[in-house]
Amino acid sequence: MPSCMRTLLERYNGRIRLLEAHDHISREIVSTVTGDEGESFQGIWISSLTQTTYLGVPDTELISPLERASSLKWLRHQPQHQSRSRLCVAYDADNGGSPPEIPSLVAKLSSLGVSMIVIEDKSVNGPGQKVNSLAQTSSSQRQADMYSFAEKIQAFVTASIATDMVVAARIESFTVRAVKADPEEERLSVRDALEDAFRRAECYKKAGAGAIMIHSKRPDPGEVLRFLKEFRLRDPSTPLIVVPTTFGNTPEDTFYNAGANILIYANHLMRAKIHASSKFSKVFLGEAPGVFMHDADLWSCFANRNFGCLLRKLKQGENLDDEAVRYLEGAQEDAVKNMVAVAKHLVVGDMSDVVDKRLISVQDLLEINSRQVTVTKGLFDNMTEEQQS
């Protein structure tokens, strides 16, 4: 693996954690939050779901991984705090995008300091065709042909030879599986998906993948834990990545002891931001019921509860009226407080009551994300580096 991830895994005995960030404020939270005993996050996760929510478009590859990467200028000046090493950054690249764009994508991410790029083995035939892995309809998404995807891995590895970057393969065998009503059929379906995941892992490693992510949308970690344990019997060294979004109350040591090396809290800060902003908005509407009614762009974000995108647009806006300024200041303050509180829970591995009290649900986030509130044409034209931060 490249030095950043390898060094972190060695320093932390093969157990590191990443937390999602989508702008410079959330990045700062990941960088600075610590636990009472010095616990900290070792890296940042750039999630396609939260980044597209922030931009105001659905997480369907409506915009390409390269286009998303072009909006990450806030990563370029990552702070390095006293007594804290620079955080590694992992980028969620969906299915990797168009093969001709792979060299440009790798070069762009390398220039931003990204040290791991994760590509998922879904079959996406064009813009807007991706189905999020946690969506209830995820079984409608076909998996990519294993060997064709291996060629894409090889293309990423070749493009990253001169960079400090690892290419990780994300296996979707569990998320594209349709749950069966009959218990015996369900058991066989899980078994088949597990065997498929093992075959793909071996194929992807041979193609050059430096790490394997195993993903699941079940409310319990059973199929992930089984994969981890059996994979470790076959391969004691390849780094394994887990995203415990739908089974977040499972203790972290359960995954580490089963063989995981990297845990990613993939969307929590955006869910915390929207939760706090939503509560603030209900109170604010009582005082200023007509806020944003004069601006169709802002009202679309507000009415669709995409407060991640709304706060971005307000910060980029010019000539805001007094009500809009007051809204921005109040909503931003509450959002930051809630994101910090969530990060403090996560950094010590404590998820008790966090989901109910401080986060919107994953399905709620998916519903919000599905409503496009920004046109894609010219989306990045006016996003200067200062505005993106």
Domains and CATH numbers, the chain: 5-268+352-359 (3.20.20.60)
Which one of the listed residues 23, 59, 94, 334 is annotated catalytic? 59
> Cα–Cα distance between 43 and 57 in angstroms, integer?
25
Instruction: Give this prediction's pTM.
Output: 0.93
> Cα–Cα distance between 343 and 230 in angstroms, integer?
32
> Cα–Cα distance between 221 and 289 in angstroms, integer?
44
Overall average pLDDT of the 181-202 stretch: 94
Overall average pLDDT of the 5-20 stretch: 91
Judge whether residue 151 has pLDDT over 90. Answer: yes
Q: Which tokens in the block code for residue 319?
A: 């000539």
Residue 327: closest CA among 278, 255, 369, 363: 278
Banded model confidence at residue 140, pLDDT cuts 50, 70, 90 = confident
Q: What is the pLDDT of residue 382?
A: 55
Determine contact, residues 242/264, Cβ cutoff 8 Å.
yes
Determine contact, residues 138/67, Cβ cutoff 8 Å.
no
92 noted as active-site residue: no
Residue 108: closest CA among 86, 76, 85: 76
Judge whether residue 170 has pLDDT over 90. Answer: yes
Banded model confidence at residue 353, pLDDT cuts 50, 70, 90 = low
Residue 267: closest CA among 246, 237, 289: 246
Q: Which tokens in the block code for residue 55?
A: 């931009």
One-letter amino acid at 121 equals D
Residue 330: closest CA among 319, 340, 322: 322
Determine contact, residues 63/376, Cβ cutoff 8 Å.
yes
Banded model confidence at residue 352, pLDDT cuts 50, 70, 90 = low
Residue 349: closest CA among 213, 239, 256: 256
Judge whether residue 242 has pLDDT over 60. Answer: yes
- What rounded mean pLDDT belongs to the chain? 90
Q: What is the pLDDT of residue 280?
A: 97
Judge whether residue 216 has pLDDT over 70. Answer: yes
Least reliable range by pLDDT among 169-173, 186-190, 195-199: 186-190
Neighbours of 78 (CB within 10 A): 17
Phi, psi of 3 (to 5 degrees): -60, -40
Give the residue with greater pLDDT, 250 vs 386.
250
Of all helices (H) and strands (E), which one includes residue 281? helix 268-287
**Can you tell me which residue has the tokens 């990204």?**
114
Q: What is the pLDDT of residue 3?
A: 58
The 10s digit of each residue's pLDDT in 79-90 is 555 545 678 999
Overall average pLDDT of the 312-334 stretch: 93
